[in-house]
Amino acid sequence: MTTSGGAGSILITGAASGIGAAVAALAAARGYALVLVDRDEAGLADLTYELPPTNVQARAGDVTDEALLRSIVAGTRPWRPALTGAVACAGIEVLGDVQTLTADEWTRCLAVNLTGTFNTARAVLSELIETKGALAFLASDAGHVGAQGYAAYCASKHGVIGLMRAMALDLGPVGVRVNALAPGFVDTPMAARIFGEDPSSREYYEGTVPLGRFAQPSEIAKAALHLISDEASYTSGSIYHIDGASTAGYFERPSS
């Protein structure tokens, strides 16, 4: 492997597919060294093979295991530059309202989406304090407004935004910035699972977006790398909405 060219290192969770993989691909193209974490070991291997030549340390792991995340960060340090950023992309979707969700589904959704984000931050924080780096958390438009039938998912993503805001206040004095991304629907494997068996449902939801389409993972990746770069050196405690104006207000598509 070649080195990253001095751009520093980024840790990315949920890196094997979707938004996490897009962040990894763009970061590698821009010369960052990468620490990639995902439960999907085969997916990580495929992604690493496809990335441009760079310093990549890929490790299988579950973000609900804080000790493992700390071990990954410490274990990769001899082979990479210091971390200057982290993007917490690991997440799952769980359908159900408070009457239909099981306790296990509720617990798992919050464990991955919210506690996993918390664990990621704790694992990298000592290095980010050294480098005065930045964190970007993957929230959702469902962390800003409700979504019918997604009680656990909404709660977890609202929690991510609350965590981000508190951390931005706590860590500002030591020079660490924390922000959150709030995408709407994105063309990812998660969206494919949701809409794969019902194309008409996808068409309906695309019609509720003023821009008339779902986002591409690369569009979210660009925003994530902006937030952890020096381009956003005075941005902290912010929610970056990337939803085609879906949460801007009431929208009714004009008839053709």
Catalytic residue among 153, 204, 205, 250: 153
Question: Is 153 considered catalytic here?
Answer: yes
Residue type at position 250: Y
Separation CA 160–CA 179 (nearest Å): 10
Residue 107 · residue 162 · CB < 8 Å: no
CA angle 72, 76, 81 (to 5 degrees): 130
Length of the chain equals: 256
**Residue positions annotated with a catalytic role:** 153
